[in-house]
Amino acid sequence: MNNFLFYFIAAIGCILSIQAKIIHHQYCIVGSGPGGLQMAFYMKRANRDYIVFERNNISGSFFRLYPRHRRLLSVNKISTGAINSEFNLRHDWNSLLSDNDSLTMPHYSDQYYPHADDMVRYLNDYASGLQLNIQYNTEINKISRVHYKQSLRFKLTTKSASIYICDVAIISTGMSKPNIPTDVQGIHHTV
């Protein structure tokens, strides 16, 4: 009976290790908001091996809820009075950098303080128009350091137990849940 149990557990372990396929990328970016998309653009431009993980089904999902009053706090200065595109871009607080001049916020809104929904539309057009490597509906639950192929790297584990190994982890997430310990006596006095 003991031999059977041993072989049964060993077989289950083999099956689990086959199912937990390890995928390696040079760069892993967590979050596809403005910062994650901008990093992805430069990674793609430099022909780097990268992937962006987004837990929702769209980029910039933060802007579906925030700001609550639905207007961005950053200005969308459509006309600076100058013809210098570099000068104009410095006064455009919402656009991401790219080689595509049509992917700028003034093409999405003429409002000085654009609506947040315009930002969501813009960010998703940016991601799809530039064909960035984004894996949607992928929530990273754990990030740890591991030795992999004789180097210290980052291990990212998804909610569905997929494992990604990367040389560099870039965290570009929006709001997070507060980490309030539940096992500390008197914690309710501090929160």
pLDDT digit string, tens, across residues 78-107: 888 888 888 888 888 899 999 998 999 999
Quote the pLDDT of residue 189.
80
Q: What ranges make up the beta strands (E) of 96-179?
A: 134-135, 140-148, 151-158, 163-171
Residue 175 has pLDDT above 90, yes or no: no
What pTM, to 2 d.p., does this model score?
0.81
Residue bearing the bigger pLDDT, 174 or 55:
55
**Per-residue confidence (pLDDT) for residue 88, from 0 to 100:** 82
pLDDT digits (tens, 9 = 90+) for 30-76: 999 999 999 999 999 999 999 999 999 999 999 999 998 999 988 88
Please state, for a pLDDT cut of 90, what percent of the chain lies above it.
66
Predicted pLDDT at 23: 95
Residues 6+ apart with CB under 8 A from 27: 39, 43, 48, 49, 50, 51, 166, 167, 168, 170
pLDDT average, residue stretch 137-152: 94
- Say if residue 115 is exposed, middle or buried (CB neighbours under 10 Å; 0-12, 13-18, 19+): middle
